[in-house]
Amino acid sequence: MKAEALRAAVFALVMVAAAAMAVVATPHIYMADQHAREKLADIVPPAFGDWEVDRSVIPVPPSPDLQQVLDATFDETLALTYRNRAGQRVMLSLAYGRNQHKGMNTHRPEVCYPAQGFRVVQGSVPVQLRVDGREIAATRVVAELGPRHEPITYWLVVGEHITHFGYAHRAVAIGYGLRGIIPDGVLVRVSSIDRDQAAAFALQERFIGDLLAAVRPLHLPRLLGAAGQGQDEP
Amino acid sequence: MSSPAEHTIAAASRRWLPLALLLLGWAAMFGPVYWGLAQTIWASDANGHGPIILAVGAWLIWCKRDALTALPRRPALVSATSLLLLAVLLYVVGRSQTVWTFEIVAQNLVLLALLLAFFGWPGVRVAWFPLLFLVFMIPWPGEWIDAVTQPLKSAVSAVAASLLHELGYPVGRSGVILTVGPYQLLVADACAGLNSIFTLEALGLLYLNLMNYTSPLRTVLLALLILPISFAANVVRVVVLVLVTYHFGDEAGQGFVHGFAGLLLFMVALVLILATDRLLGLALSRSGRGEG
């Protein structure tokens, strides 16, 4: 009986110690509080290169479920449609998540498009974009809703890293977490409505190049992580 | 000299002291987990069944207390200690990095470790059902949920749409959007029925356990049949919601009836499960293997 009480005491102690260790190990420094975090709308210029925001297009608002998530997590989204002189339209959508430990799977195009009724006709294809001498590990998806055929290029920045959704994303977040930091992140999504996929992806790549060239160097790390660092403000 | 009354109190406190200590440890370790879960994924569609499983699991273990204490004490301390340490590791990583799956796996491992430390492997054998039951509490990683939810949702929408079409309703479907007459309905994640599948599997297992069936064939068959049953119940829910919207308007479909349809889902599923079980019992007893 005595041995049993002792054993119980030891086990209980280990359990209490585990709880204490977890509290100590929990990260509580938000990366977002360590750096300036401007509103997404202030980062992206309304006109650059050959492109200009097309005010005639009203972007589809987020679905009610998504809006709930956004409101609950201090997240932020920005959706703009740009038009060039040739009349081609490209949609730019940015989603900001302050706490990447919570992830942002709701924003993941492979999840968020079907949630709005789209069908993913071509699953995620990883692609290395070479823009402006930079490498961006992006993903391409094609979604469809009735006659609307929408090729999408997107990438995800978590903390200082460009990463992919799923376990890679989780690994980056946990990597920060074990150092006591809660990273924030941005999803950059560019899409256009076009049956010709190759043309659409080429147009999107050009748009991304023009956009990154126009964003102030100070803000580039928001969209590119560490790959966007290193330039001084001119 | 102590009086007999004092003697019993001392004996009782000695008996309850280990349990009280362990419960304290448990509360310190998993109290915060349950609190966190209650704020987050227990409030979500895919894991809403969590608290019920926990409560029923706890009750099932409580039911085993006499069987456990009657066992000869053969603690398996080495296995117990290693499992406990593994659980602590998972717990600390899971808790600090918000990996819910790790936290609940740790919970189940701690329970296993405690059974081993005090009752050894015979104790695990006695409590096998609650241990298995609590596996349903482990939240699936979001990845898996997403991977299963989307196709399930499409399938539920497709079956519901073709059923309504057969009934002569003007129904159209594009992915997970159903149009009926002037109305458009988006089949939400909840309608994929992942949550209801977990809950129904757990309830089905509980039912089998309470009925004291000993035929493993019957248990396995019913557990498998719960999957299509749950699918069918979700189709019924979507069909009912479409019909309500079509006949009584959008507000009716989104209001009280929407919640009621969830309840209906469970009633339909439970009736189907009981009926299936009866049929299984009949079929198995006819072939001379069941215990009808």
Average pLDDT over chain A, rounded to whole? 86
Q: How far is Cα A220 from Cα A134, in angstroms, rounded to an integer?
A: 12
* Residues of chain A with C-beta less than 8 angstroms from the C-beta of B175: 114, 117-119, 145
CB nearest to A26's CB, from B96, B188, B189: B96
Q: Say what the pLDDT of residue A19 is.
A: 96
Interface residue B227 vs chain A (CB under 8 A): no
Does A53 reside within a domain?
yes
**Range name among A136-140, B6-10, B69-73 with the lowest pLDDT average:** B6-10
- Contacts of residue B233, Cβ cutoff 8 Å, sequence gap at least 6: B193, B196, B200, B265, B266, B268, B269, B272
Does B271 reside within a domain?
yes
* Residues of chain A with C-beta less than 8 angstroms from the C-beta of B186: 63, 116-117
Considering B116, B139, B162, which residue would you say is the last residue of a domain?
Answer: B139
Pair B100, B48 in one domain = yes
Could you tell me what percent of chain B has a pLDDT over 90?
Answer: 28
What confidence category does residue B76 fall into, taking pLDDT thresholds of 50, 70 and 90? Answer: very high
Residue B237 a catalytic site member:
yes
Does A2 reside within a domain?
no
What residue numbers bound the domain in which B27 lies? 4-139
B11 pLDDT higher than 80:
no
B260 pLDDT higher than 90:
no
Pair B207, B247 in one domain = yes
What is the average per-residue pLDDT within B150-175? Answer: 86
Which position among B74, B191, B218, B278 bears the catalytic label?
B191
Chain A residue with the nearest C-alpha to that of B80: A11
Q: Say what the pLDDT of residue A232 is.
A: 42
**Range name among A6-10, A149-153, B71-75, B261-265 with the lowest pLDDT average:** B261-265
What is the average per-residue pLDDT within A154-162? Answer: 92
Q: Say what the pLDDT of residue B177 is.
A: 80
What residue numbers bound the domain in which A218 lies? 28-228
Pair B119, B152 in one domain = no
DSSP B31: H
* Residues of chain B with C-beta less than 8 angstroms from the C-beta of A118: 175
Does A63 reside within a domain?
yes
Q: How far is B219 from chain A (nearest CA, A)?
A: 35
Pair B45, B122 in one domain = yes
Three-class SS state of A85: coil
In angstroms, what CA-CA distances link A106 with A103, B137, B271? Answer: 8, 23, 35
Structure tokens at B292: 């009808």
ipTM of the complex: 0.76
Q: What total number of domains does chain B contain?
A: 2
Pair B22, B135 in one domain = yes
Q: Which residues of A touch B (CB under 8 A)?
A: 1, 4-5, 7-9, 11-19, 21-22, 25-27, 63, 65, 101-103, 105, 108, 110-111, 114-119, 145-146, 166-167, 170, 173-174, 177-178
A233 pLDDT higher than 60:
no
B291 pLDDT higher than 70:
no
What is the average per-residue pLDDT within B133-152? Answer: 81
Q: How far is A149 from chain B (nearest CA, A)?
A: 14
Q: Which of A93, A103, A120 is nearest to A168 (CA)?
A: A103
Q: What total number of domains does chain A contain?
A: 1
Does B292 reside within a domain?
no
Are A102 and A217 in contact, with CB atoms under 8 Å apart? Answer: no
CB nearest to A12's CB, from B25, B75, B96: B25
pTM: predicted TM-score of the whole model, two decimal places: 0.74
* Residues of chain B with C-beta less than 8 angstroms from the C-beta of A179: none
Segment A143-157, tens digit of pLDDT: 988 889 999 999 999
Q: Say what the pLDDT of residue A63 is.
A: 67
Pair B126, B155 in one domain = no
Interface residue B147 vs chain A (CB under 8 A): no
Does A50 reside within a domain?
yes
User: Higher confidence at residue A119 or residue A213?
Assistant: A213
Q: Which residues pair with A201 in a beta bridge?
A: none
Pair B186, B242 in one domain = yes
- Contacts of residue B62, Cβ cutoff 8 Å, sequence gap at least 6: none
Does A46 reside within a domain?
yes
Q: Say what the pLDDT of residue A61 is.
A: 67
Contact B22 A12 (CB under 8 A): yes
- Contacts of residue B10, Cβ cutoff 8 Å, sequence gap at least 6: B2
What confidence category does residue B290 fall into, taking pLDDT thresholds of 50, 70 and 90? Answer: very low
Interface residue B86 vs chain A (CB under 8 A): no
Pair B169, B251 in one domain = yes
B256 pLDDT higher than 50:
yes
Q: How far is B236 from chain A (nearest CA, A)?
A: 21
Does B291 reside within a domain?
no
Strands A185-191, A181-182: pairing is unpaired
The beta strand positions in chain B, using DSSP E, are 171-174, 177-180, 183-186
Q: How far is Cα B121 from Cα B136, in angstroms, rounded to an integer?
A: 22
Does A13 reside within a domain?
no
Sign of CA dihedral B81, B84, B90, B96: negative
Considering B139, B169, B192, which residue would you say is the last residue of a domain?
Answer: B139
Considering B139, B162, B181, which residue would you say is the last residue of a domain?
Answer: B139
Q: Say what the pLDDT of residue A139 is.
A: 93
Q: How far is B93 from chain A (nearest CA, A)?
A: 7
Which position among B95, B173, B218, B237 bears the catalytic label?
B237
What confidence category does residue A191 fall into, taking pLDDT thresholds of 50, 70 and 90? Answer: very high
Helices (H), B97-127: 100-126
Helix axes B4-39, B100-126, angle to 10 degrees: 140
Does B129 reside within a domain?
yes
